[in-house]
Amino acid sequence: MLITDSQGQLTLKHSHPSNYLTITLVLGIIAVIAAILFDTFSFFMQVSPTLLSNSVPAQLHISKFSFLDACLFYFFGYALMQIPSGMILDRFGAQRILSISMFVCALSTLCFTVATTLPLISISRLIMGISGSFAYIGVLFVAIRLFPLRYFSMFVGIAELAGAVGAVLAENPLRLLISHLGWHASFELLAFILIFCSVLIYGVFSYLPNAGQHPGKTINLRDCVLYMVKSRRFFLIYLISFLIWIIPMGFIAYWAVVYLRSDFHISLALTTKECSVAWIVQGVMSPVIAWWSNRIKQRILPTLVCMAIGFISALALIYLSHGQRAIIDLCMAGIGFSAASITLMFALIGDFADHHYAGSLMGFNNMLAVLAAPAGQLIIGFLTKTGHIALPHALLFFPACYLLAMLLLAIFMKLQKKH
C-alpha cells in the first residue's frame, strides 16, 4: 500500500516493497514527464502567435496588430490565475486539476484553430492562458509530492528548461511543421498530444492516490496571505524573483531587439537569433545551476554569482558591443545565465514553505515573474517617451535591477544568520 509521509513523499507499505518501490518510481517519472510536456506546451503557446502574425490575419482579413492584441489575452488569463492555480492544486491535488487543465487547454487550442473572429480568438486564448497557468506550477507540485525535497531545485531547473524548449520550438521548428502540415493541422496535432498527456497523468495518479492530493486541508486566500506576510523571507524572495525576471522578459524579449536594430541597424532575423542565445543558455543552465546549488548546499551564493555575471553582461551589451556579433552573443549568454537563477528562488520557497502552502506560494512567485514582462517594457517606454531619455541610458535600468537584487540577497543572508 502506498502512503504519503509528513514530508509529502511517497513511502511504501507492502509485503514486496522493492517491486512496488520500482513501480512507484517509474510511475512518478511518467507523471513528471507528462507535466513537463504540459509546461513545454504552455510556453510554446505563449510565443507561437508571432509566427502566425502574417498568415492568420491574411486568412481572416484582419490586421496583424489586432490579431496580436487578441492573442495577448493568453497572458491575462495566465497571470491572473497564478495564485488561484497554486491554491487549487493545494486543495484538490494533481490528478484532477492537471488532467482537467490539460484537457481544457487542448480544447481551447482546437477552438483557436477554427476561430474566425477576433472575439473568438480572444476567448480561446484567454481560456488557453487560464488552463495553461497550471502547467509550470504543476511540474513543481508533482515533483515536491513524488520525490525527496533535496531534488526539488533540480526539477525547478528542468521546468525552466522545458519552458525554454517550448519557446524555441515555437520558432523555426514550428515554421517547418507548418510548411509541411499547415498551421491548422499543426496545432490540432499538438492539441491531441496534450489530450493524451491528460489521460496519461490521470491514469498514473489513479495508481498513486495519496500522491495526487493533499490530506484534506482546506486552503483559503486569507490564510495564504497571512502566512506570506508573517515571513520576511518570502517578501525578499518575491522581490528578488521579480528583479531577476524583469531583465530577460523586459530587456531580451523586447527592448534588446529595438536597441540592436535602431542603434546598430542589425536585421530582425539576426536580432532574434542573437536574443535566442539568451533563452537557450537560460534553459540549459537552469538545471546545472540547481545541481551546483545542491552540490555546495547554498542558494544565495550561486544567485549572487549569476547576478554579477548578468550585471557585467548587460553593461557590456549596452556600451561595449558596438554591433559586433561575437560580443553580443557573449553578452546574451551572460544574461541568459543570470536568468537561470530564478530556479533558485523557487528552490528557496521549497526549502522554507509549509508543505500545505507550497503550491500557492510558488504560484504567487510565478505571477510576479509573468508580470515582470509588461513592467520592463512599460518602464523603459516611460523613460524614453515621457522622460525623453536616450534609449541606451534608459536601458541602464536593467543593470540597476541586478544591483538591487544583489543588495536584497545580502539582506536575505543577514536575515538567515539571525535565524
Q: What's the confidence (pLDDT) of residue 403?
A: 95
**Angle at 144 (CA atoms; ends 417, 303), nearest 5 degrees:** 40
Q: What's the confidence (pLDDT) of residue 79?
A: 78
Whether residue 357 sits in one domain with residue 269:
yes
Whether residue 210 sits in one domain with residue 256:
no
Q: What's the confidence (pLDDT) of residue 1?
A: 44
Whether residue 328 sits in one domain with residue 230:
yes
Whether residue 235 sits in one domain with residue 162:
no
Q: Which three cell numbers stand for residue 314?
A: 548587460
Cα separation, 121 vs 74, in Å, equals 10
Q: What's the confidence (pLDDT) of residue 397?
A: 92
Question: Which residues constitute the domain of residue 399?
Answer: 225-418
- The amino acid at residue 393 is H
Q: What's the confidence (pLDDT) of residue 46?
A: 82
Q: Give residue for cell 516493497.
A: 17
Domains in the chain, number: 2
Whether residue 255 sits in one domain with residue 124:
no
Q: CATH number, domain at 113?
A: 1.20.1250.20
Cα separation, 371 vs 134, in Å, equals 16
Tell me which of 171, 192, 217 is where a domain ends: 217
Long-range contacts of 4-9 (CB under 8 A, 24+ apart): 4/145, 4/210, 4/211, 4/215, 7/149, 7/355, 8/144, 8/145, 8/214, 8/355, 9/145, 9/146, 9/147, 9/148, 9/149
Whether residue 162 sits in one domain with residue 246:
no
Whether residue 73 sits in one domain with residue 163:
yes
Q: Which three cell numbers stand for residue 208?
A: 498513486
Cα separation, 399 vs 305, in Å, equals 14
Whether residue 63 sits in one domain with residue 198:
yes
Whether residue 201 sits in one domain with residue 179:
yes
> Taking the CB of residue 163, how many other CB atoms lie within 10 A of it?
25
Q: What's the confidence (pLDDT) of residue 144?
A: 80
Per residue of the chain (419 residues), give pLDDT as tens: 444 444 444 444 444 556 666 777 788 888 889 999 999 999 888 878 877 877 888 888 888 778 888 888 888 888 788 778 877 887 788 888 999 999 999 999 999 999 988 999 999 999 999 999 899 888 888 888 888 877 887 888 888 888 888 877 887 788 888 888 888 899 999 999 999 999 998 888 877 655 545 444 555 666 667 777 677 888 899 999 999 988 877 777 667 777 887 777 777 667 777 777 888 898 889 999 989 998 898 999 999 999 999 999 999 988 887 778 888 889 999 999 999 999 899 888 888 877 667 777 887 888 887 778 778 878 888 888 887 788 888 889 999 999 999 999 999 988 877 66
Tell me which of 217, 249, 273 is where a domain ends: 217
**Angle at 373 (CA atoms; ends 371, 374), nearest 5 degrees:** 80
The answer to whether the CB of 40 falls within 8 A of the CB of 28 is no
**Angle at 122 (CA atoms; ends 117, 127), nearest 5 degrees:** 130
Q: What's the confidence (pLDDT) of residue 166?
A: 86
Q: What's the confidence (pLDDT) of residue 137?
A: 86
pTM for the model stands at: 0.73
Whether residue 330 sits in one domain with residue 266:
yes
Alpha-carbon torsion, ordered 354, 283, 46, 368, to 10 deg:
40
Whether residue 159 sits in one domain with residue 288:
no
